Amino acid sequence: MKPDARVCDVARRYGVKAQQLTRWRRLARAGRLALVTDDAADFVSIELSDPVASGKSEGPVEITIGKVSVRLDADVSAVRIAEIVTAIERGA
């Protein structure tokens, strides 16, 4: 989201397709994708431990940011998770 950033450079740096990054940017600008901060977005690594073959989680989702940990039911939507992370990051 930085003004001087090029999609192809950012996509290459983080190992994602430029088309996917463009879609995420478009959704974020339209307010359909929650950003964690109002500043330029950074990518973070996600590590899956013992993923379930069906793609569905059997246990709760746990989010830990600093000293704050939140445990959610497995059926919580991605949008709600993004809203919670945003609130935690902003200190709400």
CA gap 57, 65 in Å, rounded = 21
- Specify the pTM: 0.40
Residue 51 lies in a domain: no
Parent domain of 74: 61-91
Distances (CA, A) of 26 to 7, 16, 19, 75, 77: 12, 16, 11, 26, 20
pLDDT tens column, 11-57 = 888 788 889 888 888 888 887 777 665 555 566 666 656 555 545 55
Q: Which phi and psi (to 5°) does residue 6 adopt?
A: -105, 135
Does residue 42 fall inside a structural domain? no
Residue 75 lies in a domain: yes
CB 62 within 8 A of CB 76: no
Q: 40 lies in a domain? A: no
